[in-house]
Amino acid sequence: MRALRLPAWKTEPELVEVDEPTPGPGQVVVKIGGAGACHSDLHLMHDFEAGALPWNPPFTLGHENAGWVHALGAGVTGLEVGQPVAVYGPWGCGTCARCRLGIDTYCENPAGAPVPGGGGGLGLDGGMAAYQLVPAARHVVPLPEGLDPVQAAPLTDAGLTPYHAIRRSWSKLPPGSTAVVIGVGGLGHVGVQILKATTAARIIAVDTRDEALRLAEEYGADLALRSSEQTAEEIRKATGGHGADVVLDFVGADATLRIGAAAARTVGDLSIVGIGGGSLPVSFFSVPYEVSIQTTYWGSRPELIEVLDLGARGLVRPKTTTFRLEDAMSAYRKMQDGTLEGRAVIVP
Ligand code: NAD
Ligand code: ZN
Ligand code: ZN
């Protein structure tokens, strides 16, 4: 089969011929119906060098995947060949306290994981190929009725990551509150929908691209602001001077972190999700009192099941553009150039 593989750090991925995987005991092979293209893949191609992450290329890209069960390894029960499924992407050891709760993202025994701190498309082979080997059946989540693999694939990361970040801030988003979403691309435009579906907060979207802002408004943003030096002030003005109860930064650059810190309300949350390489000086007077600043990484398996439910009920619908495996690189180029709408999904 053909696979889109990252051969080394700081290189372009290439489409190469590889063997079809066969499942060992407890493992599952998934026939890929959709593999989402994430901006993190662009970071993998351009920003990292050997030693920066606990794993290295070569591996097949694609860490947001859904499809159908293709083959079951010895001892796997509860799944059937042909059944539509999503793949939970972060793969921990399976036995530590965190993994037992389905929080493989924060596995505390990385040496016991198939790859430390990674998963399929992140150190091990991902879904940009006809088939993907999933090393443990617990990572294979049956799709609820009403959700096809192309819709489900982006929910496993572009949906799950904002869902996890928003969920931990739910208590700060009662009616009358304001949430700001900075960067309404693949993750952010789903984040707007998740805020709309699970909270009563007023939503302010911030981006550098007018098309992204239009998409955010289409999905329920109450106010869309072009990212600039004035953005924080505009957010304060729009909130009666109070600021935003929750800021979700899906960019993570110096400029957006500055906006987030200046726009946050006292006792608010600033969640840094984007891996834009920026930093934020924190001192007694640099952020409003009692603002909590946190990074978040992906989400848990139980949360994935909740996101898939939102998707199946039509409450969260990622805007997708599909590409053939041969054209995957053009999807990444569009993402880089800012000409992609919503999420690109590769259909091998
Ligand atoms: P994307 O390219 O689809 O979207 C990024 C959006 O940010 C675009 O709409 C772009 O126009 C906008 N943007 C860029 N610079 C901006 C600025 N200065 N101000 C406002 N908007 C700006 O990317 P994506 O796939 O949604 O990923 C977003 C970020 O999240 C990436 O850095 C990615 O690596 C990271 N990510 C993190 C996690 C995690 O678990 N923390 C998971 C997935 C992705
Ligand atoms: Zn991702
Ligand atoms: Zn673990």
Q: Which residues pair with 292 in a beta bridge?
A: 269
Q: What is the pLDDT of residue 332?
A: 98
Cα distances (angstroms) measured from residue 79 to each of 31, 69, 72, 235, 260: 14, 8, 8, 48, 44
**What are residue 69's DSSP bridge partners?**
30
Same domain, 46 and 124: yes
* Ligand 1 neighbourhood includes 182 CB (under 6 angstroms): yes
Which CATH number belongs to the domain containing residue 73 in this structure?
3.90.180.10
63 C-alpha to ligand 1 centroid (Å): 16
- 124 within ligand 1 shell (Cβ under 6 A): no
Does residue 184 have its Cβ closer than 6 Å to ligand 1? yes
* Nearest atom in ligand 1 to 342's CA: 3
The whole-number pLDDT of residue 211 equals: 97
In short, whether 160's Cβ falls inside 6 Å of ligand 1 is no
Please give the pLDDT value at position 201.
98
Q: What is the total residue count of the chain?
A: 348
Output the CA 135–ligand 3 centroid distance in Å. Answer: 14
**Quick one: 165 and 270 in the same domain?**
yes
Asked if residue 310 and residue 172 are part of one domain, the reply reads: no
Q: Are residues 141 and 181 in the same domain?
A: no
Q: Residue 216: its pLDDT value, please? A: 98
Nearest CA to ligand 1 atom 36: 274
Q: How far is the CA of 186 from the centre of ligand 2 (A)?
A: 9
* Final residue before a domain boundary, out of 252, 278, 295: 295
Residue whose CA is at the smallest distance from ligand 1 atom 34: 40
Q: Does one domain contain both 289 and 263?
A: yes
State the pLDDT at residue 242: 98
Phi-psi region of 121 (alpha: psi -120 to 50; beta: other; left: phi over 0): left
Pair 174, 291 in one domain = yes
**Tokens for 67?**
């499809």
**pLDDT at site 303:** 98
Can you tell me the distance from the alpha carbon of 317 to that of 258, in angstroms, rounded to the nearest whole number? 30
**Residue minimizing CA distance to atom 5 of ligand 1:** 185
Q: Are 287 and 311 members of one domain? A: no
Handedness of CA 306, 312, 318, 324 (dihedral sign): positive
Q: Which residues surround ligand 3, an ion (CB under 5 A)?
A: 92-93, 96, 99, 107, 109
Q: Which residues of the chain have pLDDT under 50?
A: none
Whether 258 lines ligand 1, by a CB cut-off of 6 Å, is no
Query: What CATH number has the domain bearing residue 281?
Result: 3.40.50.720
Q: Is 255 in the pocket of ligand 1 (CB under 6 A)?
A: yes
Whether 332 lines ligand 1, by a CB cut-off of 6 Å, is no
pLDDT given at position 100: 98
Ligand 1 in reach of 42 Cβ (< 6 A):
no
Question: Atom 7 in ligand 1: which residue has the minimum CA distance?
Answer: 183
Domain that holds residue 253: 160-295
Same domain, 6 and 132: yes
Let me know whether 52 and 101 are in one domain: yes
If one counts the domains in the chain, the total is: 2
Report d(CA 105, CA 88) in Å as an integer: 10
pLDDT at 104: 98
CA-CA distance, 173 to 197, in Å (whole number)? 12
What does each C-alpha distance from 320 to 175, 178, 330, 342, 346 come to in angstroms?
Answer: 30, 27, 15, 6, 10
Q: How far is the CA of 342 from the centre of ligand 3 (A)?
A: 32
Q: Are residues 108 and 189 in the same domain?
A: no
Beta-carbon neighbours within 5 Å of ion ligand 2: 38, 40, 157
CB 250 near ligand 1, within 6 Å: yes
Record the tokens describing residue 288, joined without a space.
Answer: 């409003």
Q: Do 140 and 164 share a domain, yes or no?
A: no
pLDDT at residue 179, rounded to an integer: 99
Residues 115 and 145 occupy one common structural domain: yes
Task: Single out the residue of 189, 122, 126, 181 nearest to residue 155, CA to CA.
Answer: 189
What span, in angstroms and rounded, lies between the C-alpha atoms of 286 and 38?
A: 32
Q: In this predicted structure, what is the pLDDT of residue 344?
A: 98
Cβ(210) – ligand 1 distance below 6 Å = no
Of 27, 16, 14, the residue nearest 75 (C-alpha): 27
Distance 94 CA to ligand 2 centre (A): 21
- Six token digits for residue 140: 């294979």
